[in-house]
Amino acid sequence: MIRIYNTLSKKKEDFIPLEEGKVRMYVCGPTVYNFIHIGNARPMIVFDTVRRYLEHKGYEVNFVSNFTDVDDKIIKKANEEGVSAEEISQRYIAECKKDMEGMNIMPATTHPLATQEIDGMIDMISELIDKGDAYAVNGTVYFRTRQFKDYGKLSHKNLDDLQAGNRSLLVSGEDEKEDPLDFVLWKPKKEGEPYWKSPWGDGRPGWHIECSVMSKKYLGEQIDIHGGGEDLIFPHHENEIAQSESCSGKEFARYWMHNAFLNIDNRKMSKSLGNFFTVREISEKYDLQVLRFFMLNAHYRSPLNFSAELMESSKNALERIQTAVDNLKFLAEHASTQEMTPEEAAKAEEAVKYEKAFDDSMDDDFNTADAIAAIFDLVKFANTTADEKSSKAYAETLCEKIQGLCDIMGLITEKKEELLDEDIEKLIEERQAARKAKNFARADEIRAELLEKGIVLEDTREGVKWKRA
C-alpha cells in the first residue's frame, strides 16, 4: 500500500484513488519567461518520479501539468525585447521541454496553456459570480474569500490572522475590495498588455483560476493528487481549493503533495533573488542524469542545499551504477554458459529482497533516498556475486533488475557516449582530406557529427581547433 504525506491532514495517509487502477494528477507548472532554473526542476523531477512509480504499481496515470503563459513577468520581458508575450512564452516553453527531455522527464498526458483556456476561465468566474462567491467592481472580479468556510484548511491558516497580516493591502489602493482577504479572478487590461474580451470588460485572468479550470477540464471535478512546490501552498493552492470547491461543492483534490525548496547557501533558489543556476547551465558541466540523481538522493519533503561537492558525489555514485550495468552486460556477452546453476537461481531469488526494499521505501511517501540506497545494495550484491564464471542468464537477470529499478527513478543507466581525443582528431583529419578533395558535403557531415557529440570545431589560421561544448 502506498502512503502519501498529505499537506491537508499533515499526516501520511493510505493512497486510495477515486477510481480503482487510475490516478488523476495535476502539477502546477512553470511561468515561462526565461530558462527554468534547477529549483523549478525539483518539482518536475519529483512528480515525474511519483508518476513513474505509480505506473510501475500498475496504475494508469493521467498527468496534467500546465505552462503559465500569461503573467506580469512574461509581459515585462516581452516589452524589454520589443516582441509579443506569445513569442516569449513559446520560446521558453520550447526550451523548457528540451530541459525536461534532458532530465528524462516524461511529457505530461496534457500540457495545457493558460492562454488557450480563457473561455473556461470566464465560464468558471461567471459561475462563481452567479453563486454569490465572486463579484465584479470596475472591471475587476474578486473572490469572496470569507464565503468559503474551509478557507485556510490547506495552509492551516486562520482567517483572522490572515486579516491582521493583510491590513496594509487596504491602504495600497485595493479599497474597492469588500474584504482585504478577497483575491483577484479577473483584472482589467492595461496599456500594452495582452487582453481578452469578457463580460466584465477587456482584461486577463488572475493566476489562480487557470489551475482550477485546467484541472477540471482535463481531469474532472475531483482529482487524486495535486502537486507543486511548497511556496504554492499559500495562497495559490488555497485559492484553487476555494474556487474549485465553491463551484463543484465537492472535495477538489484528495492528496496534496508539496516538495521542499532547493536552496543555495540555505536560501531558496529563485529568479527574483538572482541566486540560481539554470538547468541549461548545469547541462554544460554535467549529464542531466546527475542532476536528477542529486535531486532524488534526498527526500522530496526535505530542503536540499545545492553544492558542487554534492553534484560531484552524485556524479560518482551514478557512475558506480552505470559501471556495474556495463560489467554485467560484458559478463553476459562473454559468458561460457547460458543457463543459471541452481546456486545462481537461489542468488537471483535472494536479490528480490532489494527490489522489495526499493518498493517499501517508495511506498513510504516516495522515499527516493532510501530507494536509491536499495539500488546500491543490489549493485554491491551484483558486484560480489557475478564474475567471469557466471552464466549469461545470471548476469542478465541482475542487469535487468538494476536497470528496472533505475528506470522507475527515471535514471538512465547507459553511460553517455564520449568520444576519445584520438577519435576526434582522426575525424578532423578526415574532414581536412574531404575539404581538399572538394567533398564539402562529407566535410560538413563530419562537422555535424562531431557537434552532435558536443565537439565544436573552429577553423583558425593555425589549423582546426576543437573543444568540448
Residues binding Zn ion (CB under 5 A): 28, 211
CB of 280 to ligand AMP, least distance (A): 15
Residue 232 CB, shortest distance to ligand AMP, in Å, is: 5
297 contacts which partner out of ligand AMP, Zn ion, none, CB within 5 to 8 A by kind?
none
Cell of 410: 527515471
Lookup: cell for 269 = 533558489
Burial call 339-351: b when 16+ CB within 10 Å, e when fewer: ebeeebeebbeeb
Size of residue set near ligand AMP by CB under 6 A: 17
- Minimum distance from residue 233 beta carbon to Zn ion (Å): 11
Q: Which residues does 453 contact at the CB level (< 8 Å), separation at least 6?
A: 417, 418, 419
Residue 42: name its binding partner from ligand AMP, Zn ion, none (Cβ under 5 to 8 Å by kind).
Answer: ligand AMP
- Rule CB under 6 A: is residue 31 a binding residue for ligand AMP? yes
Residue 368 lies near ligand AMP (rule: CB under 6 A): no
Identify the three-state secondary structure at position 264.
Answer: strand
Instruction: Based on the shown chain and the rule CB under 6 A, indicate whether residue 235 belongs to the binding site for ligand AMP.
Output: no
Q: Which does 229 bind (CB under 5 to 8 A by kind): ligand AMP, Zn ion, none?
A: ligand AMP
Q: Does 40 bind ligand AMP (CB under 6 A)?
A: yes
Burial of 40 (0-12, 13-18, 19+ CB in 10 A): buried
Among ligand AMP, Zn ion, none, the one that 211 touches (CB under a kind-dependent 5 to 8 A) is Zn ion
CB 282 within 8 A of CB 38: yes
> Which lies closer to Zn ion via its Cβ, residue 102 or residue 235?
235
Q: At how many degrees (to 10) do helices 342-363 and 368-385 cross? A: 170
Q: Which of 17, 34, 35, 42 binds ligand AMP (CB under 6 A)?
A: 42
- Residues of span 171-230 touching ligand AMP by CB under 6 A: 228-229
Residue 28 binds to ligand AMP (criterion: CB under 6 A)? yes
Find the shortest distance in angstroms from Cβ 304 to ligand AMP. Answer: 8
Contact call for residue 391 and ligand AMP (CB under 6 A): no
CB of 240 to Zn ion, least distance (A): 6
- Report in angstroms how near the CB of residue 462 gets to Zn ion at its nearest: 55
Please give the order of strands across the beta sheet that includes 304-305.
267-268, 262-264, 304-305
9 vs 14: CA distance, rounded Å? 12
Residue 365: strand, helix, or coil: coil
Residue with cell 557529440: 453
Q: Does 269 bind ligand AMP (CB under 6 A)?
A: yes
CA–chain centroid gap for 226, Å, is 13
Helix axes 342-363 and 392-409, enclosed angle (nearest 10):
10
Say if residue 58 is exposed, middle or buried (CB neighbours under 10 Å; 0-12, 13-18, 19+). Answer: exposed
Chain residue at closest Cβ approach to ligand AMP: 229
Is 231 a binder of ligand AMP (CB under 6 A)? Answer: yes
| Segment interacting with ligand AMP (CB under 6 A) among 28-36, 334-342, 343-351, 453-461 | 28-36
Q: Which stretch binds ligand AMP (CB under 6 A): 254-262, 338-346, 360-368, 457-465?
A: 254-262
Count of residues in the chain = 469
Q: Which helix (H) or strand (E) holds 455?
A: strand 455-460
CA pair distance 302, 262, nearest whole angstrom? 9
List of residues contacting ligand AMP (CB under 6 A): 28, 30-31, 39-40, 42-43, 228-229, 231-232, 259, 261-262, 268-270
